[in-house]
Amino acid sequence: MESTKVKNEVHIFKNLFKKHYKETQLILPQDLALREVALQPIDGNYYVRHLAFETEKQLIEYITHVHIPKHLYYSSAKYKDPGNQIMNEKMWLGSDLVFDIDANEILQCKDKVVEITFCKKCGYTATGESSERLCPLCGSEVAKFEHVEPQCLKLAFEYLKNLVDIIESDFGFSTYKASFSGNRGFHLIVELPNPHDTIDVESRRELVSYIALSDAYKKIIKNVYVANKNRKGSAYPLPRICDGGIRRRIAKALLKRVADAKLKEFLLNCLDKIESGKLKELLDILVNNIDDILNEVAVPIDSKVTIDVTHLVRIPNSLNGKTGWKAFLIKDLTNFELQYHEVSLEGVTELFKIKILVDLPTITVIDRVFKIRRGDIIELEYAYASYFVFKGVAELLTIVR
């Protein structure tokens, strides 16, 4: 009986995903023929890798007739022979610069992430991080549920904006794609021109240290300003917006904490000279807020993703199998508000009847607050229902037409 339910659920989502891929336009690199394509089928727990396609049409034909993907990726790397199953024989030509910002990894959101270990069979739950593999009550295998609140996604978006500012202002790169991952964060794909696309792992590691502000960077900055605060006659220049690099980033964060008009003008580089007393006031603000300022200008990127020259990138407009949501391209980098129509499947208006498998605390999914208990049977629009089903805390019973 249980197996029949699972097969029915997979069949329903398989048809919905297939329809999506037939009708959507995937955001693919112009040099698709040089990229490895990889996917996890919606009806399997394995990955299909080392695929290569000359055109988008060939790719769509494959993912709608051979393997309908639960997750769909292309390689950040460009290869002479992307379909070769031996990595060392693909003949690497260069790689994009890829960044991943996850809301659950942001310092300010660590205590706002909902983490639950649960047992589908008996309903056992435990909150917080857990290494348990088996249920202490019935011995069945346990599952994990993780949820990030929308306000943390908005904070992650602010860091994405900071990252784009660094990419444009500090490195001079202007060809990039920003996208919502379809789950808990954002991706930025910077399409590097030659010869920049051939920078090696160590160079990318240095970029990560600069963008994320490694402990070494933070120590140097603190030594410069905090150690000099009480030295008589210290004239180390305070950061200003016109400065390059980290000093510019610090000045932008400092500007938010300054109320005095003259100090604002100084930071914005509208004043060439300013009284020493004002400079002392500005230094005090910087020193007293140094940790908060450094945390603000340090962008919490996943270092492993950026360093890896063979990283697989989630394709924008594909579906994320952890939520059933669309990973959409962000066209407006001024503001972000997670909206139902952007993550849902186009044209799907039916309600989905689901059964909740575990007690959950009050959480907000997109724009709706939920307080649900084990055994509840509810009817929801696609994006809300798919979230609970693909997160493993609900099962799909039927579609209400």
pLDDT digits (tens, 9 = 90+) for 41-82: 999 999 999 999 999 999 999 999 999 999 999 999 999 999
* Strand pairing category for 37-41 and 48-51: antiparallel
pLDDT of residue 324: 97
Average pLDDT, integer, range 152-168: 96
pLDDT of residue 131: 81
**Percentage of residues of the chain with pLDDT beyond 90:** 80
pLDDT of residue 230: 59
**Percentage of residues of the chain with pLDDT beyond 70:** 96
In what order do the strands lie in the sheet containing 312-314? Answer: 48-51, 37-41, 69-75, 312-314
Per DSSP, what are the bridge partners of residue 314?
Answer: 73
Distance of CA 232 to the CA centre of its chain: 46
pLDDT above 50: residue 234: no
Q: What DSSP letter does each residue of 345-383 carry, written as one string?
A: PTT---EEEEEE-S----EEETTEEE---TT-EEEEEHH
Q: Which residues contact 199 (CB under 8 A, 6 or more apart)?
A: 192
pLDDT of residue 132: 85
Residues 393 and 120: their CA atoms lie apart, in Å, by 8
Other CB atoms within a 10 A radius of the CB of residue 11 amount to 12
Residue appearing with tokens 């249920």: 135
Per DSSP, what are the bridge partners of residue 398?
Answer: 353
Question: What does the mean pLDDT of the chain come to?
Answer: 92
Residues 60 and 23: their CA atoms lie apart, in Å, by 10
Average pLDDT, integer, range 357-385: 95
Q: What DSSP letter does each residue of 238-295 carry, written as one string?
A: PP-TTS-HHHHHHHHHHHTT---HHHHHHHTT--S---HHHHHHHHHHHHHTHHHHHH
Within 13 Å of residue 233, how many CA atoms lie on the same side as its CB?
Answer: 0
132 with 222: CB under 8 angstroms?
no
Comparing CA positions, the residue from 179, 154, 182, 188 lying closest to residue 331 is: 179
pLDDT in tens, 264-284: 999 998 887 888 888 889 989
Q: Where are the alpha helices (DSSP H) in 140-192?
A: 150-169
120 compared with 160, residue with greater pLDDT: 160
Other CB atoms within a 10 A radius of the CB of residue 369 amount to 8
Q: Which residues contact 81 (CB under 8 A, 6 or more apart)?
A: 89, 90, 91
pLDDT in tens, 83-131: 999 999 999 999 999 999 999 999 889 888 999 999 988 889 998 878 8
pLDDT of residue 302: 96
pLDDT of residue 228: 62
Q: Which CATH superfamily is domain 2-99+302-348 in?
A: DNA primase, PRIM domain (3.90.920.10)
Average pLDDT, integer, range 243-270: 92
The distance between the two most distant Cα atoms of the chain, rounded to a whole number of Å, is 81
Q: Which residues contact 375 (CB under 8 A, 6 or more apart)?
A: 355, 356
Q: What are phi and psi of 381, to 5 degrees?
A: -65, 160
pLDDT above 50: residue 233: no
5 pLDDT band, cuts 50/70/90, is low
Q: Helix or strand or coil: residue 8?
A: helix
Length of the chain: 401
> How many degrees, rounded to 5, is the angle at CA 126 between CA 123 and CA 132?
95
Average pLDDT, integer, range 37-44: 96
pLDDT of residue 1: 47
- Angstrom distances, CA of residue 248 to CA of 172, 212, 245, 255, 292: 15, 15, 6, 11, 16
The segment(s) of the chain belonging to CATH 3.90.920.10 are: 2-99+302-348
304 compared with 272, residue with greater pLDDT: 304
Residues 21 and 41: their CA atoms lie apart, in Å, by 13
- Angstrom distances, CA of residue 225 to CA of 175, 228, 241, 290: 35, 5, 17, 9
Of the listed ranges 36-40, 88-92, 259-263, 319-323, the one predicted with least confidence: 259-263
> How many degrees, rounded to 5, is the angle at CA 192 between CA 49 and CA 301?
75
